[in-house]
Amino acid sequence: MPVTRTTQTHENAEVTGSAASGPALARGLAAACHPLPAAAVTLFAAALTAAAGHGPAGAAVTVGAVAAGQLSVGWCNDRADLRRDLVTGRPDKPLVAGTVPAPAVTWAAAGALLLCVPLSLACGPLAGAAHLVGVAAAWAYNLRLKSTAASWLPYALAFGLLPAFVTLGLPGAPWPPPWLTAAAALVGVGAHFANVLPDIEDDLATGVAGLPQRLGRRVSAALAGLLVLGSTATLVVGPPGRVTTYGWMLLAATATVLLLAARRPAGRLPFLATMAVAGADVALLVVELRP
């Protein structure tokens, strides 16, 4: 009986969504792109380009490529999860609520991906290849790997390659320092563990058995905190020279915030705490990388 009601709701939603006006369709698409993570990663890329010394034109293309890639990944994720979201009843998802039709999300994901390719390659062949590998890894997560024990790997690749995309687009195509790549990969995997915590039971009920789901909520919450703390520690002690006062304060604050978030692993607090820590890490990074 619940499946019948959900299916009917979806059918009505498709009709409503198909007839949606332009502004309503735009709002539905904006809600379906996972706006918070997409904006966070795009802002992270913008901060990196500024810190690395990109000019206005180079920064605009680099950030545009990241934004297009993130939009494609977000829309792909919601479209790929539609059947599971219908089964578990997710009215917070625009496709389930009917605020946007499924074909529109499919076309939006494809269009953003097509736009991402030339924008990425415009930054240089090596830079473009690094970014497109990261975007491909995120699509692979959405379409297959999120249900496997390797669910963490696309996050490590996509986040770990983001600094390379930024620095390889500079004159001489320099690679980023290893500590920066490691810190980005760690925060990406930590965000993966934190993001799935509220939905573990629903995921398992619909056949999604990624690594966090297999480990369970308590272990995954602990790992999320340790990974993000490891990312901050890497940013603090990785660069040459002595650790700044801000670095030590950031490390202590990160440990405190993550410890408090770990007390409520079932909600969105761990993920929001991860985003907050990542923002503070970016501030430290901008100072450390400034030419």
From the centroid of its chain, how far is CA 102? Answer: 22
pLDDT category, 228, cuts 50, 70, 90? confident
For residue 149, what is the DSSP state? T
3-state secondary structure of 234: helix
Rounded average pLDDT over 231-236? 86
Rounded to whole angstroms, how far apart are CA atoms 10 and 196?
24
Range of lowest pLDDT (32-46, 54-68, 212-226, 232-246):
232-246
Domains of the chain from N-terminus onward: 1-151 (no CATH), 177-291 (1.20.120.1780)
What is the average per-residue pLDDT within 133-153? Answer: 96
pLDDT-wise least confident of 32-41, 98-107, 230-239, 253-262 = 253-262
What mean pLDDT do residues 212-219 have?
90
Q: Which of 183, 273, 266 is nearest to 230 (CA)?
A: 183
- pTM score, whole prediction: 0.85
177-212 per-position pLDDT tens digit: 999 999 999 989 988 988 888 888 888 888 899 999
Query: Does an H or E element contain 110, and which?
Result: helix 102-121
